[in-house]
A and B are shown apart, each in its own frame.
Chain A
Amino acid sequence: MRWLPDSAVERLREDADLPDLGDSKYAVIGKLGSGGMGTVYLAQDAELGRKVAVKVMNIADPSGALASRMMREAQIIALLEHPGIVPIHDVGILDDGRVFYAMKLVHGRCLDESVDSASLADLLRIFQKVCEAVAFAHSHGVIHRDLKPENIMVGSFGEVLVMDWGVAKVLTGGRAEKDPALPGMSDVSPEDIELGDTLQLFGSVQGETGGGTIIGTPAYMPPEQAKGRTELLDERSDVYALGAILYFLLTGRPPSDAVDGSTTRATVPAAHPNRPRQIRSKIPKSIEAVCLKAMSEKQADRYSGAEEMARDVLNFLDGSPVSAYRENFVETAGRWLAKNRFLVLLILAYLLMRVLVLFFLRR
């Protein structure tokens, strides 16, 4: 018998771990990454000859209940056709009962890898696209529930894609819930699509308080989600996570790393993180205000949705006032001057020229 060195055993082990996509049209090429719920693989679509990303759930589901719920979930996400939402091509169940999605393969970098190399303006333009994609999902009654920089891909052509909708939830009365294109959806209550209770199976649950299940990523999680109050989750919960992402873009660190004077528990998001300007004093007050408004502890104090937040970010980029910040006269004047710099310089040049002309005429 041939002796296998450690490296060969490890490779064979990794290969045996690759999912068996069986008679599907996908052939796995290798592993791209893994998370609490599932593992993403690079695969080849034999019919169309293109490479795709295939996400396979980590745990089998012998009863099939979870699989059917996740199939519905994938069907819902598939309805969200937007340039900022990663398209799902296909959904299926492996021989071993695990559900898989085939998604568009995005070449690019995660947002957290871009933060050090891009300017604030570029990061905010990316962020605004994220807000727009999330706003589109909200308009269809779908909330993401696990927004974080690692779930945002910036493609090689500048496209911005919100990934990993595996724990998304359809809100009561959402358009996706009522969409006639989704077979059987009219018989499904939102609770049926609620994945919180099933996520414990995946080991994605971060902890529990009260009677509910906590899902998501602590650093970017709103307080109501951290407390397991899943019944309170709505669009404003995603707004909080967007605020936390903006915090990360402004300061270079997630909010939970920056709690003032207290120890951050791994399972709980920061209750009162340092203000971004305490970490980087050059951050403009108005964009800091946008971030802090989105991250308000009370849902009622946040933006009502991602669209409203996107508008404020766009206003900031355009040099217009933002709804989250009340400027004083000096700040308004300064912003106006900064926004109309060219016009001001033109007027100043004209006035200077007039002064010089008058001066020489009087001599």
Chain B
Amino acid sequence: MRSDRFPVTRLSAIVGTTSPNQEERTRAFEALIAAYWMPVYKYVRIKWNKPGEDARDLTQGFFAAAMEKDFFERYDPAKAKFRTFLRTCLDGFVANEHKAAGRIKRGGDATILSLDFDGAEEQLRVASPPRDVAGDDYFEKEFARSVFSLALESFRTTMLSAGKEIHLQLFERYILNDEDESTKSSYKVLATEFGISTSDVTNYLAFGRREFRRIVLEKLRELTTSDDEFRREARALLGVTPP
């Protein structure tokens, strides 16, 4: 059996934020921001009931402050999940900015990444309002959405660069198509549709699932600090047990 499917040695981005190497630090922050900016923005909009403009500034400001003041250096995996720690930092940051409203602009001026806030607003508009934003659930759910979205982007890139367009199309058609179980196309129907055999459909989808899982686990590895945390996260978020 191959053992290289799981990213067992990939460096944690959380650990990378404290690296003395500036390049490494930047790469680590970029990875964390890519995974967390959307949950952070939505959380600020919903939990703190901030208008879009303020939420943008607070999101940018939060990550800028995290980089400047090394927020994440204080993270202790023994005490809480990184997500819980980040949310606690965020709550503190927003509360402070709320008290001194004028300081928002200071952080907000520091545009660190080009983030698709309009897209996030559109998501908030379309999605049904969450029942409870006070606890971890909302943030967790948005984090899962973010991880899967990032993984799907990587998956697309990987499949296209490997010349596996049909694998990708099948995966998107079968897994992402918004059909319920009763109306979902059978492998036989997909085989006719794509002009391949039914067993090819089975094999292509199996390959796609394997690749997608590998990429999701790779993302999770990057967003955790230890093997234990990685395993816990993989089980909590995906139900899978990594080796």
Contact = CB atoms under 8 A, between A and B. Distances in A.
Contacts of B148: 4, 8-9, 12-13
Interface stretch (B45-53, B81-89, B198-206): B198-206
B199 A18 contact: no
Nearest to B208: A15
Contacts of B199: 44, 46, 49
8 contacts: A1-B119, A12-B151, A12-B212, A13-B237, A15-B209, A22-B5, A44-B199, A97-B241
Nearest to B213: A16
B241 A95 contact: no
B122 A18 contact: no
Nearest to A39: B239
Interface string B167-179: 0000000011010
A32 interface: no
A28 B209 contact: yes
A1 B153 CA distance: 7
Given A13-B238, A96-B243, A4 B203 contact: no
B178 to A, nearest CB: 6
Interface of A: 1-9, 11-13, 15-23, 27-29, 44, 46, 49, 58-60, 93-98
Contact of A98 (B176, B178, B241): B241
B178 A97 contact: no
Contacts of A29: 187, 202, 205
B178 A8 contact: yes
In this complex, the member of B6, B116, B127, B145 whose beta carbon has the largest number of chain A beta carbons within 10 angstroms is: B145
Given A12-B175, A12-B212, A27-B206, 13 more contacts: A1-B150, A2-B149, A3-B122, A3-B123, A4-B145, A6-B127, A11-B175, A13-B148, A15-B175, A44-B202, A46-B202, A60-B241, A95-B243
Given A4-B145, A13-B148, A28 B206 contact: yes
A23 B1 contact: yes
A8 B149 CA distance: 10
Contact of A97 (B119, B187, B206, B243): B243
Contacts of B150: 1
Contacts of B126: 5
A20 B145 contact: no
Contacts of A16: 209, 212-213, 216, 238-240
Contact of A17 (B127, B151, B178, B240): B240
A186 B150 CA distance: 53
Nearest to A34: B239
In this complex, the member of B151, B152, B203 whose beta carbon has the largest number of chain A beta carbons within 10 angstroms is: B152
Contacts of B107: none
Given A59-B241, A60-B243, A97-B243, A4 B178 contact: no
Contacts of A28: 206, 209
A9 B119 contact: no
A1 B209 contact: no
Contacts of B66: none
